[in-house]
């Protein structure tokens, strides 16, 4: 699924209006119906609804939703802000439709369940209490500067209330992409955001969660011209795409045909990282796994991952010396290896001399963060899987997630590598500068060792001859899906990293549709 910019959304709307064809006001009617249906499915007609409508098309949506809720016997109070007395044409049409509905309702029932107040100067805000439902339709995707003045005051008033807030398309005041220079306390804090056709880039940044709340994309039939004007580097991964990537096994496959993986992991006291990565790699379908680790760890690894072959370092306590890895189909290096001087030197030698696809994680990234000049020596199309702190070692700290993402894209393109920014909606950044946000996963996965499990899964897929982009995207998806399946049974609080390994086969089964 594409993630379009605010400018591209206008192009897609205009294309739909011309080529469906459909009038703009009827497209608005379709969008408003989709939001109304969501509201009616969640809140009963005894809910008091208070609608805040702006003068543009987002306000037009809000007025249409108010009318539709009135038709479903909700009690609705509408506040239309028209301080410049310059409503958009579709907003004006929906204002008239709402007034017509009021008059018809009054004539037939002798009462009115929708009250419209138009604000042209002074605004006396209604009391917002717990249990009220506020519909935020002040401003949509068209804003390009922070809200100020009276509108900022209205936003603050809504945010200070105990009412539940639903935003139409985007929370008012939030820009679709870059909010670096926005005034963040002038943005509506929605509990739910129902967005039209495409998710917005700003939804994927953690600092915006407090504004967006729970969001859902509503299909309203907007058509994508799919040309240079709507070309985008940003995408939201969908299940059907991941299902297509998943390879089928041949009846005649054997361990020699489904990959031999090399995992360099663990130092004295950090065998757990090697165990988690190793088990995940085996559960990821690899034919053979060799774990290179110091002698101190071999006994526990042979007991916990008996399927793996041990390759023992000359140093009993850490990874200290590079070696020939030409017999392996893929390599992962980093989980729990530490950052001793011996390990640092062995790391860069190993990475420089190894030709197979590889994943760099954990301490491998910490080493790169303290030796940034070595980044230029990384093999093309290798995979780096940093969490936020490790990423900052590679690109330095940033003002916000948007700047972080853009710097990561620049690094990936410049060095022709893959970088995974781990977290909610983990972002796969490719050497072409494309970004794929992952939909699976949950807060229960914020637990020590989860990244080690992910490294093992990606390593397994690389060894099975998945191209790096497919291995990375599919690995992240399966990792998150295993976490979702585990959390259903174990809760967020009860989930630990070894559960991800346990539920990985169920994730494969779920993705295959069996």
pLDDT tens-digit readout, 59-78:
999 999 999 999 999 999 99
Output the CA torsion 149→153→155→159 (10° steps).
Answer: 150
Residue bearing tokens 């909606």:
425
Would you say 508 and 485 are in contact if contact means Cβ atoms under 8 Å apart?
no
Q: Supply 433's token pair.
A: 């500068």
End-to-end CA distance of the chain: 24
Pairing of strands 418-421, 427-429: antiparallel
Would you say 355 and 446 are in contact if contact means Cβ atoms under 8 Å apart?
no
Residue closest to 105 by CA, chosen among 80, 73, 135: 73
Asked if residue 229 has pLDDT above 80, the reply is yes
Confidence of residue 310 (pLDDT cuts 50, 70, 90): very high
Would you say 120 and 128 are in contact if contact means Cβ atoms under 8 Å apart?
no
| Whole-number pLDDT of residue 110 | 77
| E strand intervals along 198-251 | 214-218, 234-236
Would you say 156 and 127 are in contact if contact means Cβ atoms under 8 Å apart?
no
Asked if residue 514 has pLDDT above 80, the reply is no
pLDDT digits (tens, 9 = 90+) for 319-365: 999 999 999 999 999 999 999 999 999 999 999 999 999 999 999 99
Compute the distance between CA of residue 19 and CA of residue 27 in angstroms, rounded to an integer. 12
Compute the distance between CA of residue 457 and CA of residue 445 in angstroms, rounded to an integer. 15
Asked if residue 108 has pLDDT above 90, the reply is no
Name the 3-class secondary structure at 480. helix
Pairing of strands 427-429, 435-437: antiparallel
E strand or H helix at 78: strand 75-81
**Helix, strand, coil percentages, rounded to 5, for the chain:** 45, 15, 40
Output the average pLDDT for the chain.
97
Residue range 7-15: average pLDDT?
Answer: 97
Confidence of residue 112 (pLDDT cuts 50, 70, 90): confident
Domains assigned to the chain: 6-231 (3.40.50.10260), 239-245+253-512 (3.40.1190.20)
Q: How is 32-73 classified by DSSP, letter by letter?
A: HHHHHHHHHHHS-TTSEEEEEE-SSHHHHHHHHHHHHHHHTT
Give, to the nearest 10 degrees, the angle between helix 450-463 and helix 468-490. 140
Neighbours of 287 (CB within 10 A): 18
E strand or H helix at 383: strand 383-384
Q: Supply 34's token pair.
A: 């989709």
| Whole-number pLDDT of residue 53 | 98
What is the separation of C-alpha 117 from the centre of its chain, rounded to a whole number of angstroms? 39
The answer for residues whose C-beta is within 8 angstroms of residue 352's C-beta and 6 or more apart is 377
Residue bearing tokens 């309203």:
220
| Whole-number pLDDT of residue 109 | 79
Compute the distance between CA of residue 162 and CA of residue 133 in angstroms, rounded to an integer. 10
Q: Supply 399's token pair.
A: 């003002």
| Whole-number pLDDT of residue 414 | 98
Compute the distance between CA of residue 49 and CA of residue 73 in angstroms, rounded to an integer. 11
Confidence of residue 105 (pLDDT cuts 50, 70, 90): confident
pLDDT digits (tens, 9 = 90+) for 12-56: 999 999 999 999 999 999 999 999 999 999 999 999 999 999 999
| Whole-number pLDDT of residue 111 | 79
Compute the distance between CA of residue 429 and CA of residue 435 in angstroms, rounded to an integer. 5
**Sign of the Cα pseudo-torsion (252, 254, 257, 263, in order):** positive
Residue range 209-219: average pLDDT?
Answer: 98
Whole-Å CA distances, 388 to 103, 111, 121, 427, 454? 57, 57, 47, 11, 16
Asked if residue 103 has pLDDT above 90, the reply is yes
Compute the distance between CA of residue 129 and CA of residue 470 in angstroms, rounded to an integer. 49
pLDDT digits (tens, 9 = 90+) for 396-424: 999 999 999 999 999 999 999 999 999 99
Asked if residue 428 has pLDDT above 80, the reply is yes
Pairing of strands 164-168, 383-384: unpaired
The answer for residues whose C-beta is within 8 angstroms of residue 137's C-beta and 6 or more apart is 51, 52, 53, 54, 58, 59, 61, 62, 63, 65, 168, 172
pLDDT digits (tens, 9 = 90+) for 452-497: 999 999 999 999 999 999 999 999 999 999 999 999 999 999 999 9
């Amino acid at each position: 699924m594409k993630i379009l910019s605010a400018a591209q959304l206008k192009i897609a709307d205009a294309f739909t209006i011309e080529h469906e064809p459909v009038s703009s006001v009827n497209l608005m009617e379709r969008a408003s119906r989709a939001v109304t249906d969501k509201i009616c499915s969640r809140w009963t007609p005894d809910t008091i609804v208070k609608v805040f409508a702006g003068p543009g098309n987002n306000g037009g949506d809000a007025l249409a939703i108010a009318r539709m809720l009135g038709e479903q016997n909700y009690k609705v109070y509408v506040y239309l802000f028209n301080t410049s007395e310059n409503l958009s044409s579709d907003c004006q049409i929906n204002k008239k439709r709402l007034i017509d509905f009021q008059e018809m309702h009054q004539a037939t029932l002798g009462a009115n369940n929708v009250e419209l107040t138009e604000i042209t100067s002074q605004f006396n805000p209604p009391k917002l209490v717990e249990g009220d439902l506020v519909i935020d339709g002040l401003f949509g995707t068209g804003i390009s500067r922070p809200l100020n003045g009276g509108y900022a005051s209205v936003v603050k008033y809504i945010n200070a209330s105990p009412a539940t807030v639903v935003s139409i398309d985007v929370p008012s005041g939030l820009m679709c992409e870059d909010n670096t220079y926005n005034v963040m306390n002038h943005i509506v804090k929605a509990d739910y955001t129902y967005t039209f056709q495409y998710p917005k880039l700003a939804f994927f940044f953690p600092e915006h969660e407090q504004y967006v709340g729970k969001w859902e994309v509503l299909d309203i039939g907007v058509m994508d011209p799919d040309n240079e004007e709507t070309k985008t580097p940003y995408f939201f991964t969908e299940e059907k795409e991941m299902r297509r990537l998943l390879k089928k096994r041949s009846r005649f496959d054997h361990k020699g045909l489904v990959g031999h993986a090399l995992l360099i992991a663990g130092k004295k006291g950090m065998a757990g990282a090697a165990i988690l990565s190793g088990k995940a790699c085996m559960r990821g379908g690899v034919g053979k796994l060799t774990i290179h680790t110091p002698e101190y760890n071999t006994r526990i690894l042979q007991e916990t991952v008996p399927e793996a072959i041990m390759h023992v370092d000359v140093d009993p306590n850490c990874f200290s010396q590079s070696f020939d890895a030409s017999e392996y189909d893929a390599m992962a290096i980093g989980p729990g290896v530490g950052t001793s001087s011996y390990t640092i030197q062995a790391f860069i030698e190993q990475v420089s001399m190894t030709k197979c696809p590889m994943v760099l994680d954990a301490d491998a990234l910490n080493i790169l963060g303290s030796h940034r000049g070595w980044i230029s020596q990384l093999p093309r199309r290798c995979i780096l899987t940093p969490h936020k702190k490790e990423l900052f070692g590679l690109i330095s700290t940033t003002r916000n997630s948007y700047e972080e993402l853009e710097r990561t894209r620049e690094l990936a393109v410049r060095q022709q590598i893959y970088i995974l920014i781990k977290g909610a909606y983990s972002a796969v950044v490719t050497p072409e500068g494309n970004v794929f946000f992952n939909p699976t996963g949950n807060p229960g996965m914020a637990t020590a060792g989860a990244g080690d499990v992910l490294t093992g899964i990606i390593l397994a897929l690389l060894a099975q001859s998945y191209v790096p982009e497919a291995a990375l995207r599919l690995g992240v998806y399966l990792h998150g899906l295993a976490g979702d399946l585990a959390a259903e049974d174990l809760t967020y609080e009860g989930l630990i990293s070894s559960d991800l390994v346990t539920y990985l086969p169920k994730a494969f089964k779920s993705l295959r549709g069996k």
